[in-house]
């Protein structure tokens, strides 16, 4: 899914914010005002900022849970510790729906399109022949769509291709092509039990977002475009992107992970999407 995070009302203090060097300097007051009033941010200039504090799950900040790990099993909802982490996003670029994208016929599908819930087939080894292969071409076009939406990740089902393929660039910057990652037939083999909560959104669910709890680190196995096996451990921001996109390959969307309160909060918008884009989705 195109991965976006919405701004939070309880941003950390200005002293806790560490902007990257390419962020335009501005007065502290102006920055805080901008963050509070921008509805959705793309993570091109994202920099996590931490501020220890006591908090409950009703807080808009990210709650952190402590434990060791949980082999291959997504975490449940453990009791929170007394500390939490507040994350901030720093960008003035809002999510966009680009419509027609030059260089590809692929389009981002909107909920409740059936492809978002359909099974996704593993890609056979014989199709993984490297650059110039059909899968390589699809991945290249997926990046075109991803960048056009100002996002950082995209799963094949979101563009109507029900294969276990995902792409992402955690910077969201097409000029930083060395950060591009293509994962074929990925699987998560281990989840940390330590989790945090951040607000996620998705272009298949425009104009809505919600808090989602995910593991802070994961271990992953996959293949590259030449069929070579890959083993990686992802932490923090990159782990969250991967888990969000990986869910799509299992027919899971981020609204499935919302709390009952969160689901109730987006119910009206989901009904609007069904009205706009057709029947077929489960609220």
Number of neighbours of residue 256 by Cβ within 10 angstroms: 12
Which residues neighbour 56 within 8 Å (Cβ) at sequence distance 6 or greater?
63, 80
Q: Are 197 and 209 in contact (CB under 8 A)?
A: no
Question: 245 φ, ψ to 5°?
Answer: -70, -40
Task: Single out the catalytic residue among 245, 261, 271, 276.
Answer: 245
Residues listed for the chain: 283
- What is d(CA 280, CA 283) in angstroms, rounded to the nearest whole number? 10
Question: 183 φ, ψ to 5°?
Answer: -120, 120
- What is d(CA 210, CA 101) in angstroms, rounded to the nearest whole number? 28
What are the Cα distances from residue 242, in Å, to 2, 13, 45, 101, 217?
11, 29, 18, 24, 10
Number of neighbours of residue 220 by Cβ within 10 angstroms: 19
- What is d(CA 58, CA 50) in angstroms, rounded to the nearest whole number? 18
Is-catalytic flag, 245? yes
Active-site amino acid positions: 245
């Amino acid at each position: 899914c195109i991965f976006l995070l919405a701004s939070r009302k309880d941003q950390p203090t200005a002293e806790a914010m560490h902007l990257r060097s390419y962020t335009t300097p501005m007065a502290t007051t102006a920055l805080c005002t901008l963050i509070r009033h921008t509805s959705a941010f793309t993570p091109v200039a994202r920099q996590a900022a931490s501020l220890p504090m006591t908090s409950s799950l009703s807080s808009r900040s990210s709650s952190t849970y402590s434990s060791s790990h949980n082999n291959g099993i997504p975490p449940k909802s453990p009791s929170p510790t007394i500390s939490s982490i507040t994350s901030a996003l720093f960008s003035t670029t809002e999510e966009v729906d680009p419509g027609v994208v030059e260089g590809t016929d692929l389009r981002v599908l909107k909920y409740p399109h059936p492809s978002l819930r359909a099974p996704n087939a593993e890609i056979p080894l014989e199709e993984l022949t490297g650059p110039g292969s059909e899968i390589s071409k699809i991945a290249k076009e997926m990046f075109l769509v991803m960048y056009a939406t100002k996002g950082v990740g995209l799963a094949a089902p979101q563009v109507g291709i029900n294969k276990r393929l995902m792409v992402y660039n955690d910077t969201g910057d097409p000029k930083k092509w060395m950060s591009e990652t293509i994962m074929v037939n990925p699987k998560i083999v281990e989840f940390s039990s330590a989790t945090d909560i951040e607000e996620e959104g998705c272009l298949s669910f425009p104009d809505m977002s919600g808090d989602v709890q995910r593991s802070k680190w994961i271990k992953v196995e996959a293949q590259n475009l030449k069929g070579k096996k890959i083993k990686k451990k992802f932490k923090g921001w990159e782990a969250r992107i991967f888990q969000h996109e990986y869910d799509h390959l299992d027919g899971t969307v981020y609204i499935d992970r919302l709390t009952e309160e969160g689901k109730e909060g987006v119910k009206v918008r989901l009904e609007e999407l069904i009205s706009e884009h057709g029947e077929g989705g489960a609220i």
